[in-house]
Amino acid sequence: MPPRVIATPHDEILVLEIDNPPVNALSPGVPEALREAVAGAQRDVGVAAIVIRGAGRMFVAGADINTLEDAAWGNEAAAPNWHALFQEIEDSVKPVVMAIHGSALGGGLELAMSGHYRIAAASAQIGQPEVNLGIIPGAEGTQRLPRLAGIAKALDMCVTGRPISAVDAVAAGIVDELSGDDLTASAVAFARRVAGGRDHRRTRERNDRLGDATTNAPLLAEARQLAAKVKRHQTAPLKAIDAIDAASRLSFDDGCRRERELFLECVRSDQAKALIHVFFAEREAAKLPAGASAAAAKPVRTVAIVGAGTMGSGIATACANAGLDVLLTDSTAAALDGGPSAIRKNYDISISRKRLTQPEVGERLARIHAVSTHDFASRAGTADLIIEAIFEDLAIKQQVFRELDAIARPGCILASNTSTLDIDAIASVTSRPSAVVGLHFFSPAAVMRLLEIVRGRETTTDVLATSLAFAKNLRKLGVVVGNGPGFVGNRLLFPYMYEAQFLVEDGATPSQVDRALTDFGMAMGIFAVDDMAGLDVGWRVRQAMGHFSDPSERRPLVHDRLVELGRYGQKTGKGWYRYDDPRTPTPDPDVEALIRSMATAGGIRPRTFSNDEIVRRLMLALVNEGARALADGVAARASDIDVIYVNGYGFPAWRGGPLLYADLMGLAEVLEQIRSFHRDFGARWQPAPLLVDLANRGQTFRAFDRARKT
């Protein structure tokens, strides 16, 4: 159904309802229909005032992101420009009341601010989230918002991108009043009250809250500090500040022109391309695979978890937070006591930070039932899903699955939280391999958004549909991946991690490598990540996966020695770094001396590295292995790899993920650099055939995805 604007008279008040499901985006056709409807109301002598609202569950969620994507990739003519529509609304001789429910975000709020008055349901949210896509409000939002809310509030909303409640919007001066239970009736009554007036307030003419250079200077400085904190390395928040500054210094029309210039600068940027790419990639990743149906998803109300360690207790917390009942067990009494204790401690932190109340925590804790293995065997038959969350040992996992297969009810899904091991080998010991799936949570499991859903050879589509629905219920992003060593995320992680270890043996230091990575935008450096995960865990996984079984390949020298010394990372207070504070890494001269001595004994002559060389080598290790994973079908799409690395491994969203980073760099240049590494470092840098093919044809990973989709 094409977008439309439905006009419904309420005596002398005309209600215009924007009907463009599912979110009433201002996609092509909507602004034109609205402009025509407003013009018709101007001509109708029987109309005294106009109410504009959205159909369905919200007012207007914003611009059509497809048009922004087109603009980011070169078609600037597609960039929304609603100046004429907003001017006609604001110049209306009949008052225009905007009735807001659900969300008024981005272009939706900009539309609302062009009206003379705004009334909102108490549950509504409003905001200018454009910076989350690498752009700024481009339809006069940076010019109207400070005129309504003042410079300080406008800066906070546009820099952080966080929405505010309708109650806060009233307090800020953005919304005039809250509606009753019936939004339309309240808006019509409001419109009747103001219909007789002659001086309807035009936002563009309100200058009393814009301050002056003296009062605004500290606010602008604070906003730049805020941008550096919450949107590190990103340019859009800084340009939003410049646009709001322009609102305070220039006329409305000149300010709008400056906003448009800044908006186009943003939309042309690689950061906008990257963030818009991630926006669409996440939505694509969450779709059901071919042959699966959402209707096939079975309800999951009770989850049983085997393993009460860090991962098991984190998964239990995530499930309890989602309102699910949890059975938690472990083979050792210490772990069975320690898991619930850790859960309570983490909830206490949430209370102290005012994220949860004591009653909310009490409700969640009441859903988690720690039981002995004996009681678990008798009670797990009620579970809809059983998740194994023990350490990475295939033989032990197989034994656990034999036992689970015997006690689980028919229809129960059996899942492993394995991060690397063969799901088919685990499923093979059960009588129900079609009901076995990998659910790879990321640590900390209660917080991290990513969930790799690993499809075994016999995993059915209804199990995948249930797993995706389960992920969504936990407010996580489920990504279906194929079975293979390390799946997608850890498959790429190993060459990235080993290359970092080779770099420090060749002359860099762990702190230099990590600093280069965080300056690039990674959430953490790779050595800090290794310490957080546990060097013993990495050692165990490497043995299980048979890495470096070929004696001719170069293998890291230092990692195993650190494990032998009991330097497991944060949990022992020493790893690649020293931890005088439990979470803060401090460079350790003893480790740096050990690296140099072992490298010298291995015949390695140290040299210096620039940060750019470090980053290039590590990022291209990810890219090359990513191309292999894509060609092998372990990843369904290049964009799935990007989503996994942004949401699970701290890759900066504003760079789009490893494979979009390669696209923006240019695959020809990427291939040339990898070939150079291949000449210098040998077989581990053999270029991936898919990368060679795409580069030789002048293609991109993005084009590869699109070709598969059509």
82 DSSP 8-state letter: -
C-beta of residue 276 within 8 angstroms of C-beta of residue 133:
yes
Neighbour count for residue 330 (Cβ, 10 Å): 25
Strand locations in 20-105, DSSP E? 49-54, 96-100, 103-105
CB atoms within 10 A of CB 177: 12
Angle at 21 between CA 12 and CA 131, to 5 degrees: 100
Q: What is the rounded distance in angstroms from the CA atom of residue 610 to the CA atom of residue 616?
A: 10
Q: Which two tokens stand for residue 322?
A: 């989602």
Closest CA to 277 of 133, 401, 409, 161: 133
Paired residues of 450 in beta bridges: 477
Contacts of 181-187 with CB under 8 Å at 24 or more apart are 183/53, 183/99, 183/101, 183/119, 183/121, 184/10, 184/15, 184/51, 184/53, 184/99, 186/99, 186/119, 187/15, 187/51, 187/53, 187/97, 187/99, 187/119
User: Is the Cα torsion angle 524, 530, 534, 538 positive or negative in sign?
Assistant: positive
Alpha helices in 179-332 (DSSP H): 183-195, 213-230, 236-249, 252-267, 270-285, 310-321
Are 262 and 243 spatial neighbours (Cβ–Cβ below 8 Å)? yes
| Catalytic positions | 110, 130
- Residue 346 has φ and ψ, to the nearest 5°, of -65, -35
Backbone CA torsion sign across 659, 662, 667, 672: negative
Helix axes 83-90, 30-43, angle to 10 degrees: 20
Q: What whole-number distance in Å separates Cα of residue 119 and Cα of residue 606?
A: 68
| CB-side neighbour CA atoms (13 Å) of 109 | 34
Q: Quote the tokens at residue 24.
A: 């009433």
**100 in Cβ contact with 59 (< 8 Å):** yes
CB atoms within 10 A of CB 43: 7
Q: Say if residue 616 is exposed, middle or buried (CB neighbours under 10 Å; 0-12, 13-18, 19+).
A: middle
Query: 651-660 burial string, b = 16+ CB within 10 Å, else e?
Result: bbbbbbbbbb
Inter-residue contact 477 to 302 (CB < 8 Å): no
